[in-house]
Amino acid sequence: MHVESKLRKPLITGGKTLNDVSDDICKRVEEKPSVSWYVAMIISNIILIVGAYAVYRTLWDGIGMWGLNKTVMWAWDITNFVWWVGIGHAGTLISAILLLFRQRWRMSINRSAEAMTIFAVICAAMFPLLHMGRLWIGLVWVLPFPNTYGSLWVNFASPLLWDVFAISTYFSVSLVFWYIGLIPDFATIRDRAKLAGRKVSAFIYGTLSFGWDGAAKTWSRYETVSLVLAGLATPLVLSVHTIVSMDFATSVIPGWHTTIFPPYFVAGAIFSGFAMVLTLLIITRKVYKLEDYITIKHLELMNIVIIVTGSIVGIAYLTELFMAWYSGVEYEQYAFYNRVTGPYWWAYWSMMTCNVISPQLFWFKKIRTNIAATFIISIIVNIGMWFERFVIIVTSLHRDYLPSSWAMFYPTIYDVGMYLFSFGFFFTAYLAFSKYFPVINMAEVKSILKQTGEKVKKAK
């Protein structure tokens, strides 16, 4: 039997019973959406539609609508791509790595974090696909299909192709992991609908639940599947941003060609992913009144992950500067000198302030247990992480080896519009998820209720 120290604070507060858990979570799915949900959905849809115009112009008129030029041939699109992929790292990290470490606080947050991961990866995938200009060709060109050019195969030595495999694998494995967790909860909603006599939702959730009945044999297999999936997803999640970093690191451009990139990108990804989880969860817990499930302790633990990864990122920035100086390569040195003091100094110092200084505030217990402060810092971190990618990409490109070709990058409204489109999609998808799907993994929360629920703790 599991014995837990009395010193540990309960993970689920409010003296919840098993039935309370089903009631609290399923109620949101069963009742009509609130006014605030409709308002949020309308705003997201407006953003999506405004952004869709930029996507339309990009596809109809071509990439020339963007602010790219001959020198800076990669800018907002790849910045957004890396930013979204990074955000997409938190969900699987929470559900896989924290499962392997038996961290039970993951159980209240893994469902929404995984949903966020899936939507963020879709947002990320939009950018390289749209950059190809012709989406339909993109699907054929990136996959090794026989073709009429020979067959001339895709280049397996290219990190861009590794990216295709890494991101599509990550997306599909995360989706499966998320869905496996949803099945028992869909069954709960199905049976509640049957009891209440709601035929349509009993049918829909019955189909989604795959005929789950919670048999001990199936649960036993389910646990094996979750454990093995967690074991597979752990190296997978680390491999994805490693491979994304290789898009840059395997090139020979000063500022990109560094071996520190894989660990530095992975830490940054976890950093920004947790920040986005916090931003979304603070709103979700407030709107859905989930304070007993996502407690201050959960927020504090996530903030601790942010301090750790933020500090790793900070050390990586300093290491990069040191290595540039120590290498003795003047092109490398200039790339970093230009980053810090050149025309994009404001982007570099925004990045430093947002990513290195702001998370250090979480060393104070008062700040890391304060919801308003956490919310603000979580947004600042993601602004900083966007600037990090912008700095790495644009400042390394805009002054190349030939001073006569030096240029600046100025985004057009279509660059901004594409970014808005991804935001519109992300929030629309998240809002739809939070309405129609159980936002907390009920089955997992129920399994820890007896050991760490407040009532049981007090009774011991």
Partner 1 sequence: MDDIGKKFIVGIFEDEDILLKAITTLRDKGINIYEVYSPFPVHGIENKLGYKRSRLSIAAFCFGFLGTCLALTMMIGMMTFDWPMIIGGKDFLPFPVFIPVTFEMTVLLSAFGMVGTFFVVSDLKPWGKPKTFDLRSTNDKHVMAIEVDSNSIDSKKIKSIIKSSGASEVNDKTMDL
Catalog residues that contact partner 1 under the rule CB under 8 A.
1-2, 17-19, 22, 144, 150-157, 159, 161-162, 165-166, 169, 172-173, 176-177, 180, 183-184, 187-188, 190-192, 194-195, 206-225, 228-229, 232-233, 235-236, 239, 243, 246, 442-444, 446-447, 450
Residues 6+ away with beta carbon under 8 Å from 136: none
Residue owning tokens 């009532």? 455
Q: Which is nearer to partner 1, 72 or 167 (CB)?
A: 167
Beta carbon of residue 405, minimum distance to partner 1 (angstroms, whole number): 24
For residues 251 and 405, which CB has a smaller minimum distance to partner 1 in the complex? 251
| Alpha carbon separation from 54 to 89, 129, 412 (Å, rounded) | 27, 14, 10
| 34 vs 151 by CB, closer to partner 1 | 151
Contact 268/309 with Cβ under 8 angstroms? yes
Q: What letter represents residue 287's amino acid? A: V
Q: How far is the CB of 385 from partner 1 (least distance, A)?
A: 24
Residue with Cβ nearer partner 1 (45 or 226) = 226
| Residue 227 Cβ vs partner 1, minimum distance, rounded to whole Å | 8
- Cβ 226 to partner 1 shortest distance, Å: 9
Least CB distance from residue 217 to partner 1, whole Å? 6
Residue with smaller CB distance to partner 1, 180 or 379 = 180
Dihedral of CA atoms 19, 24, 29, 31 in degrees, nearest 10, equals: 100
| Cβ closest to partner 1, residue 161 vs residue 432 | 161
Least Cα distance to 375 among 457, 448, 284 occurs for: 284
- In whole angstroms, give the CA distance from residue 420 to residue 424: 6
Shortest reach from residue 110's CB to partner 1, in Å: 14
The Cα–Cα gap between 18 and 446 comes to: 6
Q: Whole-number minimum distance, CB 150 to partner 1, in Å? A: 6
Which of 233, 236, 314, 235 has its CA nearest to residue 271?
Answer: 314
End-to-end CA distance of the chain: 14
Which pairs count as long-range contacts for 323-330, CB under 8 Å and 24+ apart, including other chains? 323/258, 323/260, 329/254
Bond prior to 151 in cis (omega within 30° of 0): yes
Nearer to partner 1, 85 or 380 (CB): 85
Amino acid at site 87: I
Instruction: State which amino acid sits at residue 259.
Output: T
